[in-house]
Amino acid sequence: MTSEERLVHMANQIATNLATDAAPVTAVADHIQTFWDPRMKRMIFAHGSDGLSPVAAAAIRLLADAQNGG
Amino acid sequence: MTYQPQKNFGTPESRSDEAVSLTIDGREVTVPAGTSVMRAAAEQGTSIPKLCATDSVKSYGSCRLCLVEIDGRRGTPASCATPVEPGMVVRTQTPQLAKLRKGVMELYISDHPLDCLTCAANGDCELQDQAGAVGLRDVRYDVQATHLGQDKDHSNPYFDFDPSKCIACSRCIRACDEVQGTLALTMEGRGWDSKISAGFASDNFMGSECVSCGACVQACPTATLVEKKVVEVGTPERSVVTTCAYCGVGCTFRAEMRGEQLVRMVPCKDGKANRGHSCVKGRFAWGYAQHQERILKPMIRKSISDPWREVEWDEAFAYTASELKRISEKYGRNALGGITSSRCTNEETFLVQKLVRAGFGNNNVDTCARVCHSPTGYGLKTTFGTSAGTQDFDSVEDSDVILIIGANPTDGHPVFASRMKRRLRGQDGRPGAKLIVIDPRRTDIVRSPHIEAQHHLPLRPGTNVAVLTAMAHVIVTEGLANEAFVRERCDWDEYSHWAEFVSQARNSPENLQPVTLIDAEELRAAARLYATGGNGAIYYGLGVTEHSQGSSTVMAIANLAMATGNIGRRGVGVNPLRGQNNVQGACDMGSFPHELAGYRHISDNKARSLFENDWGVTLDPEPGLRIPNMLDAAVDGVFKALYCQGEDILQSDPNTAHVSAGLAAMECVIVHDLFLNETANYAHIFLPGSTFLEKNGTFTNAERRIQPVRKVMTPMNGLEDWEVTQKLAQAMGLNWNYSHPSEIMDEIARLTPTFAGVSFVRLDEAGSLQWPVTADAPDGSPIMHIDGFVRGKGKFVVTDYVPTDEKTGPRFPLLLTTGRILSQYNVGAQTRRTENVAWHPEDLLEIHPVDAEDRGVKSGDWVKLASRAGETTLRATVTDRVAPGVVYTTFHHAVTQANVVTTDFSDWATNCPEYKVTAVQISASNGPTEWQEEYEALSTRSRRVETGIAAE
């Protein structure tokens, strides 16, 4: 597994486990924001939505938009 | 201080609240009801002669030496077996008593060798002391039939058994029964033929069920059971109280010394974690500290293909600093990182993370707790508000139901297991606690002498969440939840959401049975017992955390405890059994890349600025890399330098091939350790470490107990570990000037609210302190969440079962789970360098008879263990301790390297590796795998040290 593939796997795993949260997209975004280092975040932002579950992809978009927006 | 044996009160302490006053030898004394006359006398400083009594076990009344006279009573009762009564008037020294005692001693001595001058216990022998105390001057008997001249049993590597010196007091038998709970010893024969036996007459100690905990040696009043080291070097002359460096129980020991030579480690009766008990590791397995393979001089090399070159400390620090600076300038500051160790002290750990954050300029610091209890951190912080067990060890005495999940305490946490077993057996008419064990293996505690689990749920590895959710289903749908507790202490809406989820039919035990393989009725009965059996306490270990749903399992456990009201008082709680000595401490000290000491996120401006102001630097507000992320980044070519203190990631982390690829991709790997461990095969700089005997500091055990570690000898390598980190920091230009670890603790206390009241002075006064130690709780906090949760309201989290991505299939049809064994510790770097190898010389693969037969495997056969990650060989042992479809091994031996086989799947929340579930296949083998052969060659090549050639 390459690092990028691993990040996709991790993001999907987080999304699956937070699926029962009241607001899963926000919960996944918060989790990644809290625990991933900046390079990992940059890599997943750059990756696009390929292979990501809808919740994971939405969360990463949310996070990327928040960072880009300052 | 000069040597003083620990005070022996003769009989155990009474816990009664009722006070009783009596008069002993004309002096009044007040003691708790239930105290023996012997103990009452000892408490006022009167020593009544005794032989068969010792305060670790109940009174026995056999030696007849402790006789006293009591006004109004006929005869001369044994003071050990006579409870105090109000107004009692006792005399311990009268002419009649003297005569009786002398007669008794004369009989004892008539059957005891008179070789005191050459005896190992000379000067430290209760029989000798008592002969002196009663004034015995002559033995009139000319006895023909004695039990002298018998063969000694030298079979145990740490202590000898000399039956000729035995006075048949049975203290050893009772210590084995009552303190350790193994019941390995018995008395054979009668009269002159009476003999302590470790099982059958044909058994020696080594061949018996004895677990070498040392309780019998401790209890023996003569030299019958004596440490080989005492035989070799003589009795100690001074002692220093310190803390064991093995597991998370954190036993208090007296290091008993002759000069700078350690004679023996003796468990301390005042130790609040161990209460005078020990195990084979802490008591005996400290020989690694002086092992010839210890590296005592720093070493460096340009490339890992070069031999090592010994250098002086100054050169080592200068070279290390220059390499780190070079890499930082070339690749950027984020190319550097560090790993702290749960084996090191709080102060050392704090300094390593400070070096990374303040010196390297990033947050790339992680700890080996990443690979064990990081899910505990996440799970308990989310649900309760803080990352720690809720109880002290004493709490188990008030438990009515003990639920053990994913832990094997008799092997991993043996001293606490003995206390747990004592509660499970029941005592003094009080029935034992009930036991539920959730574990794929039939661990020893499931069925052991006088203990039988009410329910053993041998689940399929990887289905913890499903089992716990099914238990929650039973508790909620059968109306067994403690809703009053939940309404008062927890968020009711979150509870309702959770209760609705677990109540769904898909979460019933019946529906989940095909997944968990647990009989639904058995699971229902276990859930009912936990919810309704009184005080319910949950103890868990790495069988919970080291899964892809490790954090979910921790939260599922917390949910169960909250739903049943089993939080916030003695006897209940959620108790992570920490693997290594300072896992709790390493986590507390801010070793995780996302949080500062005291579990405050690095992005928390208020917390971060506290550190920035104290340290005079600006800290990066973004979390850093965790260990697996560091290895990925290294393989990607952006992470280039690692300072690794006291941790052997190559052997202990999963998917060895990936770890070695990561390490090989780095330009500067600094290993700071006692030995050239496996990680050092890939290191460029080796900084020799010091043992726990050679340094000052503190460890924090599984019950949040901060305990002093005291230096008893000069570091053989010249520096304590905190000094090594400080000198490296100074070489990098940091202005650090600690002169003692107490100053580091002062800084920790200054910056960490839960440690606010901790200092070395306070620790010396109190012996130990359980955090939080604050203005509100200056003496610490044995039980947490008493009046409410740290986070305010307890939080219920829905934990939906998600199957692991590690699947069995035709190629890999079996599930491998890994664990540890009593005599070895972690990667074995310490215990493999002791006589403990006598018990466990190699890792074995446990396999069920059906699976073994299918593959033609017999016990003792070499087998190849293969997974999608790699393969290794080891020998098989066929046993029904494991269920069909499950195999098990330990990871203590570098030769086996069980982690060649484990994968890099990990916990969804924390990246804690999924050690406990690997799909594997077993096949016959006739030799080491290619990996093992290549690795052995690499190790040999990598461990070469350049030998200086003398100039002509």
Backbone angles phi, psi at B133, to 5 degrees: -65, -35
Percent of chain B with pLDDT over 90: 88
Interhelix angle for A24-35 vs A3-17, to 10°?
Answer: 130
Nearest to B667 by CA among B623, B644, B637: B637
Domain with CATH 3.30.70.20 in chain B: 159-290
* pLDDT at residue number B827: 84
Q: In the structure encoding, which two tokens stand for residue B593, read together?
A: 């890349």
Q: In the structure encoding, which two tokens stand for residue B165, read together?
A: 């010196």
The residues facing B238 across adjacent strands are B257
- Residue B827 to residue B579: CA distance in whole angstroms: 12
* pLDDT at residue number B515: 96
Q: CB neighbours (10 Å) of residue B650?
A: 25
The residues facing B596 across adjacent strands are B600
The model's confidence at residue B700, banded by pLDDT at 50, 70 and 90, is very high
CATH topology of domain B386-576: Dimethylsulfoxide Reductase; domain 2 (3.40.228)
Read off the pLDDT of residues B287-337 as tens digits, 9 standing for 90 and up.
Answer: 999 999 999 999 999 999 999 999 999 999 999 999 999 999 999 999 999
CB contact under 8 A, B363 and A37: yes
Q: For B19-133, which CATH class? A: alpha beta
Q: What is the DSSP code string of B246-288?
A: SBTT--EEEEEEETTEEEEEEE-TT-TTTTT---HHHHH--GG
Percent of chain A with pLDDT over 90: 87
Domain with CATH 3.40.228.10 in chain B: 386-576
Secondary structure of residue B747 in the 3-state scheme: helix
Window 635-654 of B, Cβ < 8 Å to A: 635-636, 638
The model's confidence at residue B493, banded by pLDDT at 50, 70 and 90, is very high
| Nearest Cβ partner for B638 among A14, A34, A39 | A39
Nearest to B765 by CA among B777, B748, B752, B779: B779
Q: Which ipTM did the prediction report?
A: 0.96
Q: Cis peptide before B772, with omega less than 30 degrees from 0?
A: yes
Read off the pLDDT of residues B225-277 as tens digits, 9 standing for 90 and up.
Answer: 999 999 999 999 999 999 999 999 999 999 999 999 999 999 999 999 999 99
Domain with CATH 3.40.50.740 in chain B: 342-372+583-770
Read off the pLDDT of residues B12-41 as tens digits, 9 standing for 90 and up.
Answer: 999 999 999 999 999 999 999 999 999 999
Nearest to B368 by CA among B389, B407, B347, B338: B338
Q: What angle do CA B610, B616, B617 make, to 5 degrees?
A: 90
Alpha-carbon Rg for chain B, nearest whole angstrom, is 29
CB contact under 8 A, B802 and A31: no
Nearest to B364 by CA among B182, B58, B622: B622
CA B894 from chain centre, in angstroms, equals 21
Instruction: Decide: residue B200, CB within 10 A, 0-12 exposed, 13-18 middle, 19+ buried.
Output: exposed
| Mean residue pLDDT across chain B | 94
Across B100-185, the runs of DSSP E, i.e. the strands, are: 159-161
* pLDDT at residue number B952: 45
Q: Which residues of B touch A14 (CB under 8 A)?
A: 908-909
Q: Which residues contact B26 (CB under 8 A, 6 or more apart)?
A: none
As a CATH number, domain B342-372+583-770 is 3.40.50.740
The residues facing B159 across adjacent strands are B227
Give yes or no for A66 touching B (CB within 8 A). no
* pLDDT at residue number B405: 98
Q: Which residues contact B855 (CB under 8 A, 6 or more apart)?
A: B863, B922, B923, B924
Read off the pLDDT of residues B818-856 as tens digits, 9 standing for 90 and up.
Answer: 988 999 998 888 999 999 999 999 999 999 999 999 999
* pLDDT at residue number B194: 87
Secondary structure of residue B447 in the 3-state scheme: strand
Among A36-45, B114-123, B715-724, B726-735, the range scoring the smallest mean pLDDT is B114-123
Is pLDDT larger for residue B199 or for residue B311? B311
- CA dihedral angle for residue B589, residue B594, residue B600, residue B604, rounded to 10 degrees: 140
* pLDDT at residue number B395: 97
Is pLDDT larger for residue B728 or for residue B5? B728
Give yes or no for A50 touching B (CB within 8 A). no
The strand pair at B89-91 and B69-70 is best described as antiparallel
> Domain B159-290, CATH 3.30.70.20 — does that match?
yes
CB contact under 8 A, A16 and B908: yes
> Domain B814-941, CATH 3.40.605.10 — does that match?
no
- Residue B447 to residue B438: CA distance in whole angstroms: 13
* pLDDT at residue number B949: 53
Give yes or no for A26 touching B (CB within 8 A). no
Q: Which residues of A touch B635 (CB under 8 A)?
A: 3
- Residue B612 to residue B589: CA distance in whole angstroms: 16
| Nearest Cβ partner for A19 among B549, B800, B909 | B800
- Residue B458 to residue B463: CA distance in whole angstroms: 10
Secondary structure of residue B833 in the 3-state scheme: helix
Q: Which residues of B touch A10 (CB under 8 A)?
A: 908, 911
Handedness of CA B775, B779, B785, B786 (dihedral sign): negative
Task: Check: CB of residue B225 under 8 Å from CB of residue B172.
Answer: yes
Q: In the structure encoding, which two tokens stand for residue B402, read together?
A: 């003990």
Backbone angles phi, psi at B222, to 5 degrees: -125, -160
- Residue B794 to residue B629: CA distance in whole angstroms: 32
Q: What is the DSSP code string of B622-663?
A: S----HHHHHHHHHTT---EEEEES--HHHHSS-HHHHHHHH
Average pLDDT over residues B655-678: 95
The model's confidence at residue B947, banded by pLDDT at 50, 70 and 90, is confident
Residue type, B47: S
Q: Which residues of A touch B626 (CB under 8 A)?
A: 35
Domain with CATH 3.10.20.740 in chain B: 19-133
User: For residue B829, what is the enclosing H or E element?
Assistant: none
Average pLDDT over residues B347-364: 98
- Residue A33 to residue A50: CA distance in whole angstroms: 20
Q: Which residues contact B148 (CB under 8 A, 6 or more apart)?
A: B111, B112, B113, B164
Q: Which residues of A touch B800 (CB under 8 A)?
A: 17, 19-20
The residues facing B70 across adjacent strands are B90
- Residue B57 to residue B71: CA distance in whole angstroms: 28
Handedness of CA B75, B80, B82, B86 (dihedral sign): positive
B45, pLDDT greater than 80:
yes
Give yes or no for B497 touching A (CB within 8 A). yes
Q: In the structure encoding, which two tokens stand for residue B695, read together?
A: 């340094």
| Nearest Cβ partner for B908 among A1, A17, A22 | A17
Secondary structure of residue B83 in the 3-state scheme: strand
Average pLDDT over residues B59-83: 95
Secondary structure of residue B518 in the 3-state scheme: coil
Q: Which residues of B touch A20 (CB under 8 A)?
A: 501, 798, 800
Residue type, B118: T
Residue B502 has, within 13 A of its CA and on its CB side, a CA count of 30
Read off the pLDDT of residues B223-234 as tens digits, 9 standing for 90 and up.
Answer: 999 999 999 999
* Distance of residue A9 Cα from the nearest chain B Cα, in angstroms: 9
Read off the pLDDT of residues B122-178 as tens digits, 9 standing for 90 and up.
Answer: 989 999 999 998 999 888 887 766 788 889 999 999 999 999 999 999 999 999 999
Backbone angles phi, psi at B924, to 5 degrees: -65, 150
Task: Check: CB of residue B581 under 8 Å from CB of residue B355.
Answer: no
The chain A residue lying nearest B500, using CA atoms, is: A20
Q: What is the DSSP code string of B195-257?
A: EEESSSTT--TTTSS----SHHHHH-SSSSEEEHHHHHH---SEEEEEE-SSBTT--EEEEEE
Q: What is the DSSP code string of B471-516?
A: HHHHHHHTT-S-HHHHHHHB-HHHHHHHHHHHHSGGGSHHHHHHHH
Nearest to B252 by CA among B830, B831, B701, B695: B701
- Residue B781 to residue B786: CA distance in whole angstroms: 10
Across A1-70, the runs of DSSP E, i.e. the strands, are: none
| Nearest Cβ partner for A34 among B497, B623, B635 | B623
CB contact under 8 A, B908 and A13: yes
B443, pLDDT greater than 70:
yes
Give yes or no for A16 touching B (CB within 8 A). yes
* Distance of residue A70 Cα from the nearest chain B Cα, in angstroms: 14
Q: CB neighbours (10 Å) of residue A11?
A: 26
Q: In the structure encoding, which two tokens stand for residue B877, read together?
A: 């042992």
CB contact under 8 A, A39 and B910: no
Q: What is the DSSP letter of B139?
A: -
| Nearest Cβ partner for B629 among A9, A19, A37 | A37
User: For residue B844, what is the enclosing H or E element?
Assistant: strand B844-847
